[in-house]
């Protein structure tokens, strides 16, 4: 079993309020929760007929969003403090003991995943392929990581490092994209680029039998790295975001992943998105300062809440098939749910780690969009969007939360409009709490709820 531990619960809040607050701040600073991979063991569960590699990837068994065997659990730790009467002269702290109670609060449910294995079978059998460029507007990316280096877009018309804008696109030496945060061609800085590096792995980590498995085939799907956020807080400006969207559009991107948001509406951003031929996959945001998801229909975060019909806004599904409690939602603004909690993917310095948030759910949708667009050459990106939304597997618990009422289904998407496309159901219960947001910062950010005040 994979065990992940998340400390929450009333008992703990009562006794460890200060600690919890400190952890919340730390979580904001890291933007997505590096989950605690305190797994003891993992049952092997694949049985896929897919030939190309996925089940042979060393970390495949940890990628529940790709293939959920029900072998992951989340444990709640409850602390109870006992204070005994200490004898005269004793250390007052000596009488304090804590009972730690572990309770499984969330258990993986087999099949609650993006249903991509049969989609890979379809992809492998298909003879149709086209190159797809995905613009990742995010932090930078460790493009040297062995599992994603082949998935990085290369500007073939640019000569790196010669100080000349060889292709005349206005950017000097932009070989993999551009760093709009520092206004430089350096699209990888280091640890501050963990967030973007994680997204690339989910979308297109190489099918090489090592590390993790990306959803799309890195032979055909290439990620353009457009760094708009920097610092440990993952902050950036709307001006950078807008410049990055223009760059993506001008340099041939088909799909644009936006795992970021702001409370502040920007008319230029909306105009750029509305007039773009790209498909925008946008994270819905991760709740308020307490980590409780809310409706962005009434408390909008942008660009997820924009009404434009080339946007897919994505909520975060837990491995038990519930909506993650921190995930924002909204039946008008949010379209679909996808796995986003305890997602294992690539990290700077050749590493891997778990992260949690709608920032991790959006790349799942982007990966499926890229996989499908690369092999369904009969579809436009707009039709791929329709295919994703109409193939969503309906879940009772998502009714009224996202417009499709369903979760991402790769097989349904890749077979959309063909014979035999189908959808299953696996309803589950969840609960949601509406919450008020804090004052909007005039910044874009990828952090939980985009709620950090700066
Ligand atoms: Ca150039
Ligand atoms: Ca050059
Ligand atoms: Ca791999």
Kindly give the distance from the C-alpha atom of residue 184 to the centroid of ligand 2, in angstroms, as a whole number: 12
Ligand at minimal distance from the CA of 151 is 3
What does the chain come to in residues?
454
Q: What is the pLDDT of residue 282?
A: 98
pLDDT of residue 90: 67
Residue 152 has pLDDT above 80, yes or no: yes
279-283/311-317 β-pairing: parallel
pLDDT band at 232; cut points 50, 70, 90: confident
For 114-130, the pLDDT digits (tens) are 999 999 999 999 999 99
pLDDT band at 12 (very low <50, low <70, confident <90, very high): very low
Give the mean pLDDT of 298-304: 96
In percent, the amount of the chain with pLDDT more than 70 equals 76
345 alpha carbon, closest ligand: 3
Taking the centre of ligand 2 as the mean of its atom positions, its distance from the CA of residue 378, in whole angstroms, is 36
Write down the mean pLDDT value for the chain.
82
244 Cα to the center of ligand 2, angstroms? 19
Residue 56 pLDDT grade (very low, low, confident, very high; cuts 50, 70, 90): low
Residue pLDDT, tens place only, 386-400: 999 999 999 998 999
Q: What percent of the chain shows pLDDT beyond 90? A: 67
pLDDT of 17 higher than 90: no
What pLDDT is stored for residue 86 in this prediction? Answer: 61
Ligand nearest to the CA of residue 159, numbered in listed order: 2
Ligand 3 centroid – CA 208 distance (Å): 5
Residues with CB under 5 A from ligand 3 (ion): 147, 205-206, 208, 211
In the reported structure, the alpha carbon of residue 353 is separated from the centroid of ligand 2 by a whole-number distance in angstroms of: 34
Phi, psi of 165 (to 5 degrees): -85, 80
Among 25-39, 48-62, 154-168, 212-226, which is the least confidently predicted range?
25-39
The predicted pLDDT at position 386 comes to 98
Cα 241 to averaged position of ligand 3 atoms, centre (Å): 30
Give kind and range of the element (H or E) at residue 83.
Answer: strand 72-83
Mean pLDDT of 269-289: 97
Per-residue model confidence (pLDDT) at position 102: 72
Residue 33: which pLDDT band, with cuts at 50, 70 and 90? very low
pLDDT band at 94 (very low <50, low <70, confident <90, very high): low
Residue 16: its pLDDT value, please?
27
Q: Cα(268) to centroid of ligand 2, in Å?
A: 29
Could you tell me the distance, in angstroms and rounded to a whole number, from the CA of residue 170 to the centre of ligand 2? Answer: 11
User: Considering every ligand atom, which ligand is closest to the CA of 167?
Assistant: 1
266: pLDDT strictly greater than 60 = yes
Q: Is the pLDDT of residue 385 over 80?
A: yes
3-state secondary structure of 194: helix
Query: Which pLDDT value is given to residue 161?
Result: 96
pLDDT of residue 304: 97
Give per-residue pLDDT as tens, 314-328: 999 999 999 999 999
pLDDT in tens, 404-426: 999 999 999 999 999 654 444 33
Report pLDDT for 104: 75
pLDDT at 63 over 90: yes
pLDDT at position 88, please?
67
Identify whether the C-beta of residue 220 lies closer than 8 Å to the C-beta of residue 377: no
Question: What pLDDT score does 37 carry?
Answer: 37
Global pTM?
A: 0.81
The whole-number pLDDT of residue 85 equals 65
Structural domains in the chain, CATH included, are 2-85+100-107 (no CATH), 117-450 (3.40.50.200)
Question: Given this model, what pLDDT does residue 196 score?
Answer: 97
Q: SS3 for the chain, per residue?
A: CEEEEECCCHHHHHHCHHHHHHHHHHHHHHCCCCCCCCCCCCCCCCCCCCCCCHHHCCCHHHCCCCCCCCCEEEEEEEEEEEECCCCCCCCHHHHEEEEEEEEEEEECCCCCCCCCHHHHHHHHHCCCCCCEEEEEEECCCCCCCCCCHHHECCCCCCCCCCCCCCCCCCCCCCCCEEECCCCECCCCCCHHHHHHHHHHHHHHCCCCCCCCCCCCCCCCEEEEEEECCECCCCEECHHHHHHHHHHHHHCCCCEEEECCEECCCCHHHHHHHHCCCCEEEEECCCCCCCCCCCECCCCCCECCCCCCCCEEEEEEECCCCCECCCCCECCCCCCEEEECCCEEEEECCCEEEEECCHHHHHHHHHHHHHHHHHHCCCCCHHHHHHHHHHCCEECHHHCCCCCCCEECCHHHHHCCCCCCCCCCCCCCCCCCCCCCCCCCCCCEECCHHHCCCC
| Residue 93 confidence (pLDDT) | 66
DSSP 102-113: EEEEEE--TT-S
Cα of 349 from ligand 3 centre, angstroms: 15
Q: What pLDDT is recorded for position 230? A: 93
């Amino acid at each position: 079993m994979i065990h992940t531990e998340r400390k929450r619960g009333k008992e703990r809040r009562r006794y460890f309020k200060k600690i919890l607050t400190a952890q919340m701040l730390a979580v904001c600073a890291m933007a997505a929760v590096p989950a605690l991979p305190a797994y003891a063991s993992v049952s092997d569960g694949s049985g896929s007929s897919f030939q190309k590699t996925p089940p042979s990837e060393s970390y495949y068994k940890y990628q529940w969003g790709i293939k959920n065997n029900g072998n992951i659990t989340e444990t709640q730790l409850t602390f109870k403090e006992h204070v005994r009467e200490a004898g005269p002269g004793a250390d007052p702290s000596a009488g304090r003991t804590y009972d730690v109670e572990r309770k499984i609060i969330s258990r993986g449910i087999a099949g609650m995943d993006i249903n991509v294995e049969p989609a890979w079978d379809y992809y492998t059998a298909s003879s149709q392929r086209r190159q797809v460029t995905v613009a990742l507007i995010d932090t930078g990316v460790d493009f040297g990581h062995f599992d994603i280096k082949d998935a990085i877009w290369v500007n073939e018309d640019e000569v790196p490092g010669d100080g000349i804008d060889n292709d005349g696109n206005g950017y000097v030496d932009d070989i993999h994209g551009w760093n709009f945060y520092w206004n430089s061609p350096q699209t990888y800085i280091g640890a501050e680029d963990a967030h973007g590096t994680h997204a690339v792995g989910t979308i297109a980590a190489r099918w090489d039998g090592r590390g993790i498995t990306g959803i799309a085939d890195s032979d055909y799907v290439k990620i353009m790295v457009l760094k708009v956020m920097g610092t440990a807080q993952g902050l950036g400006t709307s001006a950078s975001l807008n410049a990055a969207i223009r760059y993506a559009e001008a340099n041939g991107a088909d799909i644009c992943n936006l795992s970021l948001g702001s409370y502040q509406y920007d008319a230029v951003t909306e105009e750029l998105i509305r007039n773009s031929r790209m498909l925008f996959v946008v994270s819905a945001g991760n709740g308020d300062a307490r980590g409780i998801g809310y409706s962005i229909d009434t408390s909008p975060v942008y660009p997820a809440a924009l009404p434009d019909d080339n946007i897919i806004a994505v909520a975060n599904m837990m491995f038990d098939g519930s909506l993650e409690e921190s995930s924002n939602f909204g039946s008008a603004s949010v379209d679909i749910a996808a796995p986003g909690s305890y997602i294992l993917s690539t990290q700077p310095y050749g590493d891997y780690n778990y992260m949690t948030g709608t920032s991790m759910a959006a790349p799942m949708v982007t990966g499926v969009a890229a996989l499908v667009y690369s092999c369904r050459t009969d579809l436009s990106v707009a039709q791929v969007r329709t295919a994703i939304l109409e193939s969503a597997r309906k879940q009772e618990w998502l009714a009224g939360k996202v417009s499709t009422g369903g979760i991402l289904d790769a097989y349904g998407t890749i077979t959309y409009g063909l014979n035999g496309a189908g959808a299953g159901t696996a309803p589950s219960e969840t609960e949601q709490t509406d919450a008020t947001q804090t004052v909007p910062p005039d910044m874009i950010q990828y952090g939980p709820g985009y709620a950090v005040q700066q």
